[in-house]
Amino acid sequence: MANLTTPSRRKFVKKSLAVSAGAVAFPQVLTRDARSSGGTAQDRKDYDVVEEVAKYRKIDAYCTANPDMELADKLGIGRMYVGNPMRWLDWTPDEFRQANDEMIDLMKKHPGRIIGQISVNPHFSRESLEEIDRCVDQGMVGSRLYYQAKINDPIYYPVIEKLADLNMIIFIHGEAQIGVGGYRMKYDVGRPATISVPEDFLEAAQRYPEAMFQFAHIGGGGDWEYMCKAFREQSNIFVDVGGSNNEEGMVEFAVHCLGEDRVLFGTDNSYYQGVGKVICADLSDRQKQKIFFDNYNALLKKGGYHVD
Amino acid sequence: MWIDINSYVGHWPYMELKYDTCKALLQRMDRFGVDRSVVTSLSGIHYKNTQSANRALYEEWRSENELKERLLPFAVINPTYAGWKYDLKQCLEEFGMRGIAVYPKYHDYSVEEEAMVELAEIAREYDVPVALTLRMVDHRARFWMDIEKEWTLADVMPVIRKVPDARYIIWNVANSTRLDEDDLALVKKSRVLMDTSGRATNNLSGLLDVFGPEKFAFGSHAPILDYATGRMRIEYLDRADSVKQKLRSENAVDMLNL
C-alpha cells in the first residue's frame, strides 16, 4: 500500500451616429449617474474558491507528462497518474520502452506524487507483455494506451488480459462519434481510423467484464453527452472529466448517467478546468470527494495500489 | 468585489443549459459571491432579428430590482440586418443596455466590413464597449450544424485597427493570443479587455507579462462554461493582491463605466 504525500498547500490570501434616417437622434453618452448603481457585496456570502478547492483530497486520474507540479501543489492534487503524450501508429518497442523510462525517471524525481502509466503498442504483443512486467516491477500502475489499434481489436486482447490479471485499470484514449473522431464525423481533424469510440469500449468491456476500463477525458473535446449515455449500462467502464473543455453540467450529467462511483477526477493538464468543473457541479460535498479521490482510489485498491 | 464580464442567459439550440435565466444567473452569482455580471442573450445569436431577443432580455431584466441592480445587459446586434441602428439606439437609450455584442461568424459577415466598422464607431460615440467572442463552444464537440471555425485574437484585430479609439471586450479567449508587433502595440494602447473564461488564459501570468494587468478581467462564459474556472485563474495567480483586484473588478469597472 502506498502512502500519499500530503501536498504542500500554500496559504493564500483570501482571497456619428448618423443612425438611419428619421426616427433616430444623435447618441447620448450614458454617464455613470444615468445608470443603475448596483448592489454591494457586504451582505453577500464571501465565497472563497481557494478554500473550497482545499476541502477535497485529489488524485489526478489523467495527467500527461510533464505535470505542472507547482500548480498541482496549489490545487492540492496529491497524486498524479501520468503517461507520455500520445504517439502515432508506428510506435516501436524501443520507442515505447523509452517513453516508459521517461515516466520511471519522473516517478523517481517526484516520489509518492507521480505514478507512471504503462504505454505499449499491441501490434508488438510479446514485447508489450514483457514491457508491462518490466514497468510493474518499477512501480508503474495502469495503462496509458492510444490509438495504435481500437480497444476491441483482438490484437489488444493479450494486453487487456494481462492488465486485468494485475487488477489494473485499462486507460485508453477515447473519442466520440460526434466530436473529434468517429465514423460519423462530418469534418476532418486528422484523426486515424483506429481511434477507440464508445462502441469499441462497450464491446471490449462486455468481452472482459472482469476488467476495468477508463474512457479518457470526457472534457477532451468530444461529445460528452454521447459518451456518458453510451456507457450508462456498462458498469466496468469509468470516465474521467479531464480535458480543456469545462462546459457547465458535464460532471452532473456524467453522475446522472453513470452513477457517482464511476466518475473520476482528471485534468489532462488542464488543471483549472479539471478542478473547476467539479467544484461547480451541482453535487454534494461527499459526491465531489468521491470524484476527486475516492472513486479512483477504490479502483486502485482492487490491485493493492491504493493510497491511505 | 467580483464582476463577471462574460455571461449569458437564454437558449442555445444544440444542448440544454442550466442556469439560463436572469434569476438563475443571480442565484449562481450569489452562490459564488459575484456582485455584478454582464449578461447577453444567447437566443440573439441564432435569431435573424436579434432585437426580439434583446427585448426579451430587457423584459426579464427589468422585472425585479435586484436584477436591474446587478446585471448589466448587452445588446446583440447584427450590423448587416435591416434596422440595426434603430435597434441599437433603442437598446442603449431606452433599454439601458451597457454594451454591444457582435457575432460576425454566426451572422455571416466579416469583422472588416463597413457595417462592422460603423457599429464600432457608433459604440465609440455612445462610449459603450463592443464585445467579440473567439468562440461560443468548443468546435470539436459542437453539433454538426454549428459553425466550425474558431477565432484567434488576431482575427478580431481588423476592426480594432480601423476604430482604435472604441472600447472592446474579447470573450472566451480559447485560442492563440499571438499578435504581430504592431497589433500588440495597438492592443496595449487601446481600451481592450479580455475575460478569463477561455482556456488560453490558463497561463494568465504569462499573458499579463505580454499585455499588462489592465487588459484582463474575470469572466465565466456561463452558463456554457463552468462558473469557477475563470475565477480560479485569478485567485491562484502569483501576483500581488492589487493586481488581482484589477482582474476581479477594477478593470471591469473602468471598461463598463460603473
Question: Alpha-carbon distance B12 to B19, whole Å?
Answer: 12
Q: What is the percent of chain A with per-residue pLDDT over 70, rounded to a whole number?
A: 80
**Chain A residue at shortest CA distance from B15:** A225
Task: Note whether residue A200 is domain-resident.
Answer: yes
Interface test with B, best of A17, A52, A189 (most B CBs within 10 A): A17
Chain B segment 214-253 residues within 8 A of A by beta carbon are: 222-233, 235-236, 241
pLDDT category at A175 given cuts 50, 70, 90 is confident
- Check if B108 contacts A (Cβ < 8 Å): no
Average pLDDT score over residue span B249-257: 98
Smallest CA–CA separation between B193 and chain A, in Å?
A: 19
β-partners of residue A240 are A264
Which cell numbers hold the place of A294? 475516492
pLDDT tens digits for B145-176?
Answer: 888 889 999 999 999 999 999 999 999 999 99
Alpha carbons A240 and A134: distance in angstroms, whole number: 27
DSSP A174: B
pLDDT at residue A188, rounded to an integer: 55
Residues 16-75 of chain B with CB under 8 A from chain A are 16-19, 30-33, 35-36, 66, 68-70
pTM for this model (two decimals): 0.90
Residue A276 domain flag: yes
CA neighbours within 13 Å on the CB side: how many for A226? 22
pLDDT at A45: 61
More confident residue, A146 or B195: B195
Q: Looking at chain B, which residue has its C-alpha nearest residue A74?
A: B236
pLDDT of residue A258: 98
pLDDT at A176: 79
Of the listed ranges A87-96, A206-215, A223-232, B20-29, the one predicted with least confidence: A87-96
Average of pLDDT values for B19-30?
96
Q: Is residue A239 part of a domain?
A: yes
CA B174 to chain centre: 13
Mean pLDDT of B172-188: 98
Considering only CB atoms, B86 lies closest to which of A20, A49, A249, namely A20
Residues of A in contact with B1 (CB under 8 A): 41
Residue A159 lies in a domain: yes
Residue B94: pLDDT over 50: yes
Nearest CA of chain A to the CA of B214: how many Å?
A: 20
Partner B contacted by A47 (CB < 8 A): yes
Interface membership of A78 toward B (CB under 8 Å)? no
Q: pLDDT-derived band of residue A6, with 50, 70 and 90 as boundaries?
A: very low
Please give the Cα distance from A129 to B163 (Å, whole number): 63
B34, closest residue in chain A (CA to CA): A41
Q: Which one is predicted more confidently, A5 or A114?
A: A114
Please report the pLDDT score of residue A24 as a whole number: 37
Q: Which three cell numbers stand for residue B254?
A: 473602468
CATH assignment at residue A210? 3.20.20.140
Q: Is residue A39 part of a domain?
A: no
Mean pLDDT, chain A, whole residue set: 85
**Does the residue A264 lie in any domain?**
yes
Task: Cell 455571461: give the residue.
Answer: B7
Subunit contact B235:A50, Cβ cutoff 8 A:
yes
Amino acid at B38: V
Give the range of the structural domain holding residue A135, as residue numbers without chain letter. Answer: 56-301
A256-261 contacts at long range (C-beta below 8 A, 24 or more positions apart): A256/A228, A257/A228, A257/A229, A257/A231, A257/A232, A258/A228, A258/A231, A258/A232, A260/A287, A260/A290, A260/A291, A260/A295, A261/A290, A261/A295, A261/A298
Residue A12 has pLDDT above 80, yes or no: no
Tens digits of residue pLDDT in A199-241: 999 999 999 999 999 999 999 988 899 999 999 999 999 999 9
Contact A28 B32 (CB under 8 A): no
What distance in Å separates the CA atoms of residue B67 and residue B54, rounded to the nearest whole number?
A: 15
Query: Is A28 part of the contact surface with chain B (CB cutoff 8 Å)?
Result: yes
Q: Which of A39, A245, A280 sits opposite B141 (nearest CB)?
A: A245
Question: Is position A16 within any domain?
Answer: no
Q: Answer yes or no: is A284 within a domain.
A: yes
> What CATH superfamily classification does B3-256 receive?
Metal-dependent hydrolases (3.20.20.140)
Residue-wise pLDDT tens digits, A137-148: 999 999 999 989
Chain B positions in Cβ-Cβ contact with residue A9 (cut-off 8 Å): none
Question: What pLDDT shows up at residue B148?
Answer: 82
Q: What is the mean pLDDT of residues A184-207?
A: 81
Q: Give the pLDDT band (50/70/90) at residue B140.
A: confident
Residue A184 has pLDDT above 70, yes or no: no
Residue A277 sits at the chain B interface (C-beta within 8 Å): yes
Give the C-alpha separation, B148 to B239, whole Å: 36
Which pLDDT belongs to residue B145?
Answer: 84
B-contacting residues in A 2-21 (Cβ below 8 Å): 12-13, 15-17, 19-20
- Which residue of A44, A223, A224 is in closest CB contact with B33? A44
**Structural domain count, chain A:** 1
Counting one residue from chain A and one from chain B, the pairs whose CB atoms sit within 8 A come to 173
